[in-house]
Amino acid sequence: MAKVKKSFFCQNCGYESVKWLGQCPSCGQWNTFVEEVIEKGTDKANWDQYTSAIKRANKVIALHEIESGEEKRIITQDAELNRVLGGGIVSGSLILIAGEPGIGKSTLFLQCGLHFKNRSVLYVSGEESEQQIKMRADRLMVNEKTKVNDQFFLLTETATQTIFQEIKKLKPQVVIVDSIQTLQSPVIDASPGSISQIKECAAEFLRYAKETGTPVFLIGHITKEGGIAGPKILEHMVDVVLQFEGDRHYAYRILRTLKNRFGSTSELGIYEMTDSGMRGVMNPSEILITQKEEQLSGIAIAATIEGVRPLLIEIQSLVTQSVYGTPQRTVSGFDLRRLQLLLAVLEKRGGFHFGIKDVFLNIAGGIKVEDPSIDLAVLCALLSSYEDIPLPQTMCFAGEVGLSGEIRAVNRIDQRIAEAEKLGFEKIIVSRYNQSLKNTSRFNIEVIRMSRVEEIYRYLF
């Protein structure tokens, strides 16, 4: 008979303790320990035959003896997914995708599996039946131009023992698991979704991916606080962590990289939710800038960069007289503390009395931007709303604002100017301290250099 072992796990960080503790020593949270029964016995030795299809002998090797070469990447039909992953799927990688319920995670990767070329794909679902997935696949309305993958296989199962038995028979080239929180390993006698089950199931798929070179996608849930459900070690185990963001009331979704061992973590993919599934948006600047017939105050266009992709985004601001005692500061898609910093700069360096005003700031399109180069556009949008004077529609901004009121240089200014020129803008205001920007005559757009906030105010208003 297998030996029964009981442990206590922190539901927040996954810390394991032999007894119940009031406060977790790892993350410091209170009352997060839950008892779980772990059954480990002789089954563990027999269990390895299911979780590994190819056993390879590992031995010590000198670093100079290892042949260096680029990772073999699998190019998908989804250009946005390729971009976010750093150029394609790396063989043997374990990829975790997390997002809110109903945001479109299952739709996106069902669509991705259906469009794979010449590769067998196994879609493991622990949440839906075969009929539900078939209905969704039919609803995606795969158009006639794109041939559906005839090697797309479906398995509705939650027991990892059965899943690996089927994997051993089928030998798929790509595995998609929806979702990791629904799986249950026979090695652990705990309920699905518990800390120990998620950790063990992820470890089994990690071992399988590395030993066979098969890429595995794990779709995951998030908690009500917005973090990925399960132990924090889950994010350390996987090679790539993707966050699927967006508001269900808007049509656009954002696929953001939080961790990537094979590429940049600053990449961004933008999708539009349509009746026929997720459609990649190739030119997001056009959807992030509202087409207006008349000029309105409080709107400025910022030239930013996400990963390797230059974007033009619209900053909307509203400055009104404060009716109540405490002025409001409300932001959407921007850092509130950064806004308070810019308002302090305008108060100190420009003499503007924002302390008695309500300030509302929004980035159009529902995206979140952390690039400091949009400071200048935010500042100009605030001044435009404060003076109630609209800015020219053919002008955009790229610059970081310092505490002393100076306009600081930003990186990759050439790409920002080229993107503004491509979208038909006539003027762009940048920092005078951009050393890389020496020859501006090659652009068909007027590049205006400034160094202080006061100069911009005199120029615009």
| Binding-site residue ranges for ATP | 99-106
Bridge-based pairing of strands 407-408 and 400-401 is antiparallel
Would you say 407 and 450 are in contact if contact means Cβ atoms under 8 Å apart? yes
Binding site as annotated, residues? 99-106
Would you say 219 and 205 are in contact if contact means Cβ atoms under 8 Å apart? no
Bridge-based pairing of strands 240-245 and 174-178 is unpaired
The closest alpha carbon to 331, from 310, 304, 358, 349, belongs to 358
- The residue with tokens 């005839």 is 150
Question: Hey, which residues does 302 pair with through a beta bridge?
Answer: 313, 397
The closest alpha carbon to 228, from 242, 208, 215, belongs to 242
CA distance 215 to 203: 14
Give the single-character DSSP code of 84.
H
Chain-centroid distance of CA 172 in Å reads: 27
Question: Hey, which residues does 268 pair with through a beta bridge?
Answer: 256
Query: Which token pair is 313?
Result: 């985004």
Report the alpha-carbon angle 344-349-354, nearest 5.
45
Sign, Cα dihedral of 259, 263, 267, 273: negative
Alpha helix positions (H), 271-367:
284-288, 336-345
The closest alpha carbon to 160, from 197, 195, 128, belongs to 197
The closest alpha carbon to 418, from 389, 440, 390, belongs to 440
Would you say 180 and 230 are in contact if contact means Cβ atoms under 8 Å apart? yes
Question: Hey, which residues does 430 pair with through a beta bridge?
Answer: 449
Query: Which token pair is 392?
Result: 């020219």
The overall longest dimension of the chain from CA atoms, in Å, is 83
Sign, Cα dihedral of 229, 233, 237, 239: positive
Instruction: Give me the amino acid identity at 123.
Output: Y
The closest alpha carbon to 305, from 325, 285, 278, belongs to 285
